[in-house]
Amino acid sequence: MFTFNPVAFTVFIIFFLIVTGMGFIAARWRRGDLDQINEWGLAGRRFGTTVTWFLLGGDLYTAYTFIAVPAAMFGLGVLNGWFAVPYTILVYPIIFILMPKFWSVCKQRGYVTAADFVKDRFGSRTLAFAIALTGIIATLPYIALQMFGIQVSLAALGIPLSVSIGGLQIELPLLIAFLILAAYTYTSGLRAPAMIAMVKDIMIFIVLIALLIVLPAKLGGFGAIFAAVAKKHAASPTTFFEFLSPKQNWAFVSLALGSALALFLYPHSLTGVLSSNSKNVVKRNTALLPIYSLMLGLLALTGYMAIAAGIKPPKSLGANYAMPLLINAQFPPWFAGFAFAAISIGALVPAAVMSIAAANLFTRNIYKEYISPNASERAESTVAKWASFVLKFGAVLFIIYIPTAQVINFQLLGGIWILQTLPAVFLGLYTNWFNRWALLIGWFVAEVLGTILFSAAGLKSVYAISIFGVSFPAMYTAFSMIILNLILAIVLTPIFNVIGLGRGRDITVATDYDAEEVLPVEAGREALG
């Protein structure tokens, strides 16, 4: 299906090497002491508006955007693909309210992770451990999605993904990309993806503009594109949906709202926020980031363009290869090489931030809390660097053991898990009313049941629940589980308070949540952008 083209490969390698070099050079960019986790994992909290915008954009708009969403639009239609557009619109008003408070309390108290905050807010090491563990596990399928995006790009270039070494089949090209990612993440920390994100976003916008100009012109305009979509729906009305049916409304709404609530609970999203140097930077970015939502909507339509172009991936590859096949069919090799380099780099940036964020959680809330309480800052930083390396290997297991036919489910599975931290993290910014044990039980029940339902649905994220003979409409499992989680936390809190399972001591104070900018040396300018 894919044939090797030396021109496309050469262009790909040139840009990949440029970005790799930038990843290592980033260690010297506004250099800090990378033997401190605050410097390695948060870049010293010194990013200004511009760098934060590129970092968060590169962090949030990932291989999910370039591979999974167009694939879902191509293979299944509007329900499984288009919900991503309203969810990225809904999320920014939410974080405009929440994230400045989160940034403030974390800066005032020196928190590096959400679990740091939860521990002090609810006085519970156990609850903090649960939040940390959830963040790490939920990040793994998201990293796996990025690795899969690189794998798809390499395959589209005609590079053999698997080679035989000593009788073992090894995906050598993906392994090399993984090792490069691990190396510059280890040496440069968060500075590496922040620097690379600026190049990555420029490349992606160039690819997007070319797609939107060239493809509609070649395919007869958007009228012809949507006519082809209608024809596909007519041929497969039960598997491909041009419009939502009434039975799908709840699934679509819950996918959009649940994903919006979950996005900034992910460790990598919070890490991007905490790396900024002021509350105003956070607020400005909530106003600027919707630009990426427009990009996402336009990229989603490339799935429909692949339908109009007559792209038919073989069953052995699946819908995930629709976008690469479209690029190869409609563009010259040099541009294809540039586009696949942009997609691969677009996967490397978030994969780096995700592994750093998960490593921060492991180091601060597991290693230092339970294994080595007296660890020095240098020891913390070293453990975090190695943890980020190991966690990338864990992500590969998701590619091996979870079918990739609809890789968008990697991200949605993580959403099922991470959304259950909402009561402790987001509601904790406003109240410590909840009993810590009630929060823990609500979290545990929702996590276990949500995972069971995901498996029962055939590794899909939408499930119709029936309780005591009452059937509920199919909805995103994460959304139904957070409702259950909140009910348990609300009901059990007064019960536990009465029976003597007291709440923990909250050591934060009201002024922590509304502190203004606390970097006086940065007055009049914004460090690192």
- pLDDT per residue, tens digit, the chain (529 aa), is 678 889 999 999 999 888 888 888 877 776 677 778 888 888 888 888 888 888 888 777 776 678 878 888 898 888 777 888 888 888 989 899 999 999 999 999 999 999 999 999 999 999 999 999 999 999 888 888 788 788 888 888 888 766 555 555 556 666 777 778 788 888 888 888 888 888 888 888 898 899 989 999 999 999 999 999 999 999 888 888 888 888 888 888 998 999 899 999 999 999 989 999 888 898 888 888 888 888 888 888 999 999 999 988 877 677 888 888 899 999 999 999 999 998 888 888 888 888 999 999 999 999 999 998 888 888 888 899 888 888 877 776 666 666 555 556 667 788 999 999 999 999 999 999 999 999 999 999 999 999 999 888 877 788 777 766 677 788 899 999 999 999 999 999 999 999 888 788 889 998 898 876 544 434 434 444 5
Question: Hey, which residues does 181 pair with through a beta bridge?
Answer: none
Beta pairing partners, 463: 475
Q: How many residues does the chain have?
A: 529
Domain spans, the chain: 6-406
pLDDT at 153: 85
Closest by Cα among 529, 139, 122 to 360: 139
Q: State the pLDDT at residue 524.
A: 39
SS3 453: helix
**pLDDT for residue 522:** 40
User: What is the C-alpha to C-alpha distance for residues 387 and 381, in angstroms, rounded to an integer?
Assistant: 10
Q: The tokens of 443 are what? A: 């979290």
Neighbours of 317 (CB within 10 A): 17
pLDDT value at residue 464: 78
Cβ atoms 307, 161 nearer than 8 A: no
User: Is the alpha carbon torsion for 327, 300, 351, 21 positive or negative?
Assistant: positive
Q: Are 134 and 421 in contact (CB under 8 A)?
A: yes
Q: How far is residue 362 from each of residues 192, 234, 312, 407, measured CA to CA in Å? A: 20, 50, 43, 26
Strand 462-463, strand 466-467: pairing: unpaired
CA dist 145 → 282, 312, 491 (Å): 27, 22, 37
From the list 151, 178, 146, the residue with the least C-alpha distance to 162 is 151
Residue 30 and residue 345 in contact, taking contact as beta carbons nearer than 8 Å: no
pTM to 2 decimal places: 0.89
The type of residue at 247 is: K
- Judge: domain 6-406, CATH 1.20.1730.10: yes
pLDDT at 433: 92
From the CB of residue 178, how many other CB atoms can be counted at a distance below 10 Å?
20
Crossing angle, helix 191-219 and helix 172-188, to 10 degrees? Answer: 140
Q: What is the pLDDT of residue 103?
A: 94
